[in-house]
Amino acid sequence: MRMKNRFHITLPLICFLTPVLLWLVLLIVMPHVELLRMSLRTEDISGNPAWGVANFMNFFKEPIYWLTFVRTAVYSILVTLMTFIVAMPVAFYITKVVAPRFQGFLMMLLLMPFWVSELVRVYGWMILLRESGVINHFLTRLGILNQPVEMLYNDVSMVMGLVYTSMLFMAVPLVSVLESLDDSLIEAAYDLGANMFTIFFRIVIPHAMPGIVSGSIVVFMLTLGNYLTPNLMGGKNSLWFTEQIYNQFIASFNWNQGSAFGFLLLALSSLVIWAGLKLTRQKLSRVVQ
């Protein structure tokens, strides 16, 4: 019986595995090895190439670097939290409140904006929010504002843009996990004397936990690695860490420094996700199912 479980290398297996392995090695492992190598290259006193951790040390020496880093981490967590707060009622409404025949239609409405590219959607927000934009136009027309106000290029508009961009990635896992919640559990809790608040925190949230965590992981990673939205909607003071990496590679042409930053961002996202899983007592293997 044990023989059956042994791993045999057969021709079909090789055929199926080759593209996956090529993908992994060529596009993920090799670039990262190269980035790691570059991040550890530096110059000695006489200006000759040498090995060292100077690139990583620069990060800690220069406050602008690690301040951006902390800001990016804190805002990403905030965006994840806000996305959850916005998406949870939406998912609950679609799965539990609305009549089943409208569910598909509402899901469609939720998906529709994501047929358009992120760039176009962000420009859409800019058309609405900029000084000469639609909202300012109406507010001044109605006499609420005396003169147009710049609503773009600040942290609030940037966070809003990021929440909007990642909504779907939270809503879809929440909808699927809430669909599996038996309505009679909610009714049973109600019957046993629970109010809406208790039902939500003792029944709905514990049941939805795997979906919440998987949605949060996706949203957090996408937000942390987002470049477009912070760049377009954030102001001069709303620097995102991906912009720092971009600057090092493209503007300063310092690939070694950029590689080091890239690795720090990877470490940050791994750390936060690990902490999040520990905090919610979820296992990664269960969440990714």
The single residue among 182, 253, 274, 275 that binds other proteins, judged by CB under 8 A, is 182
Alpha carbon distance 160, 281 (integer Å):
29
CB contact burial 106-136 (16+ within 10 A = b; e otherwise) = ebeebeeeeeeebeebbeebbeebbeebeeb
Residue 96 touches other proteins, criterion: CB under 8 A = no
| Angle (CA) 138 141 147, round 5° | 90
268 in Cβ contact with 261 (< 8 Å): no
Residue 100 touches other proteins, criterion: CB under 8 A = no
- Using the contact rule CB under 8 A, the part of the chain among 12-20, 106-114, 128-136, 195-203 near other proteins is 195-203
Kindly tell me which of 208 and 264 has the beta carbon lying closer to other proteins: 208
Residue 286 touches other proteins, criterion: CB under 8 A = no
Q: Residue 50: beta bridge partners? A: 42
Site string for other proteins, 132-171 (x = CB under 8 A): ----------------------------------------
> Which distant-in-sequence residues (6+ apart) come within 8 Å of 228 by Cβ?
118, 119, 122
Kindly tell me which of 172 and 203 has the beta carbon lying closer to other proteins: 203
- The single residue listed with the structure tokens 């520990």 is 278
- Using the contact rule CB under 8 A, the part of the chain among 57-65, 109-117, 199-207, 219-227 near other proteins is 199-207
| Angle (CA) 161 162 166, round 5° | 120
Residue 193 touches other proteins, criterion: CB under 8 A = yes
Residue 179 touches other proteins, criterion: CB under 8 A = no
Residue 206 touches other proteins, criterion: CB under 8 A = yes
Residue 5 touches other proteins, criterion: CB under 8 A = no
Residue 101 touches other proteins, criterion: CB under 8 A = no
- Using the contact rule CB under 8 A, the part of the chain among 33-41, 119-127, 148-156, 178-186 near other proteins is 178-186
Distance from the first to the final alpha carbon of the chain: 28
Residues 229-258 that bind other proteins (CB under 8 A): none
Residue 180 in tokens:
């599996």
Residues 28-87 that bind other proteins (CB under 8 A): none
Residue 189 touches other proteins, criterion: CB under 8 A = yes
Q: DSSP assignment of 57-85, as one string?
A: HHHHH-HHHHHHHHHHHHHHHHHHHHHHH
Kindly tell me which of 184 and 285 has the beta carbon lying closer to other proteins: 184
> Which distant-in-sequence residues (6+ apart) come within 8 Å of 257 by Cβ?
55, 58, 248
Residue 203 touches other proteins, criterion: CB under 8 A = yes
Residue 192 touches other proteins, criterion: CB under 8 A = yes
Q: DSSP assignment of 199-217, as one string?
A: IIIIIIHHHHHHHHHHHHH
Residue 188 touches other proteins, criterion: CB under 8 A = yes
Alpha carbon distance 104, 170 (integer Å):
17
**Contacting residues toward other proteins, per CB under 8 A:** 182, 184-185, 187-195, 198, 202-203, 206-207
